[in-house]
Amino acid sequence: MFAGQLLTANKTLVSKERKFELGFFTPGNSKKYYIGIWFRQLFAVQKKKTIVWVANRNKPITINDSSSSELKLIENGQLVLMIMRTQIPIWSTDSTPSRTMNDSSVKAVLRDDGNLVILSSTNGNVLWESFDHPTHVHLPGARLGYNGLTKKAMKVTSWRNSEDPSDGIYSIELGPDKSFSLIWNGSQKFYNSGVWNGRFFSNIPEMQVGYGFMSSFGITSYENGSYDFIYLLSNKTLPFGNFLDTSGQSKASIVGERRSRYENLRQKHGPRNSQSKMNYIQRHEEQQVLQSKGGRIHLIRVRPNNHLDNYVPPFFGYSIGRSSRYLFLRKTSPT
């Protein structure tokens, strides 16, 4: 996408290997429109967009303006979402003056890691990238960092609800002490990962055994007091992300695989007749694991689709417990 080109409601931008797609979307039954990025391969099969980034999450487009909206790359290097009939910007990349250009040698590219970048066609310098502005998902290869100069942290922030991607009440951020915190309502710490000791966060000792789906993870430190946390996948083709949902749960998951594996699990282990199968599902869907250790640990409901061969351990505030056939998540209580 070069300077002067634009996207309208019926057009999209697709990454080179066709893993990710950027375009307009409407969440659920909402009548509001947004620019977002989703897993293209999953959408082609499931006809459902799993959104990993939202540009105008707090500035939606109304249904009346949806047909006259455009996302345009202008000559100074900014990507602008606007209503054509009014030419009033709804959202833009807001590149700083020192990083903008006043010619047409800029282009917008959606990379195969899900990163939307604006770069110079002349020297390839990146002018802006969506990885610097995460919304509710931390993708592989993206950094979540703390800036030692500005004293500000990059945040992953939940949606308000399933049909409203505006900033919700939960966020995850990396602090100056090299620990992650789950924040409620902008200020109250609900959980802390403990400090990074070079191999794992102190309150998540299970990280030291590693995660099979990751090739590496860790924190990089800089001289100015800044830090970045990054993780990489062993298999880069997996549709994977660490999602912060509307309930404050951080879920690291391979998107799109649980349902089919659950069906295989149910057929293999579940009762034979249909009524018994329904009781089997309901019994495990509603089962709650008893509280343990004096209330310090809250245990979340067992879900039959969270099978030991299927569920990927989250690394922000949750650890895994096991029953005879299923697993469950343990979440640390608020302090």
pLDDT tens sequence across 53-69: 999 999 999 988 888 89
String of DSSP letters for 292-335: BGGGTEEEPPP-TT-BTTTPPPPSSSEEEEE-SSBEEEEEEPP-
Least Cα distance to 41 among 31, 30, 52, 55 occurs for 52
Give whole-number Cα distances, 237 to 101, 107, 212, 250, in Å: 34, 25, 15, 22
For residues 318 and 98, what is the distance between their CA atoms, to the nearest angstrom? 41
For residues 255 and 240, what is the distance between their CA atoms, to the nearest angstrom? 6
Fold of 1-132: Agglutinin, subunit A (2.90.10)
pLDDT computed for residue 282 by the predictor: 39
pLDDT tens sequence across 163-190: 999 999 999 999 999 999 999 988 888 8
For residues 61 and 69, what is the distance between their CA atoms, to the nearest angstrom? 8
pTM over 0.85: no
pLDDT computed for residue 200 by the predictor: 87
pLDDT computed for residue 252 by the predictor: 77
Following CA atoms 96, 100, 102, 104 in sequence, which dihedral angle do they give, to the nearest 10 degrees?
Answer: -140
Q: How crowded is residue 69: how many other Cβ atoms within 10 Å of its Cβ?
A: 22
pLDDT computed for residue 43 by the predictor: 73
Describe the chain by its helix, strand, coil percentages, rounded to 5. Answer: 15, 40, 45
Ordered by start, the domain boundaries in the chain are 1-132, 261-332
What is the DSSP code (8-state) at residue 190? Answer: E
Which regions in the chain score pLDDT beneath 50? 96-100, 258-335
CA neighbours closer than 13 Å in the CB half-sphere of residue 237: 3
Total residue length of the chain: 335
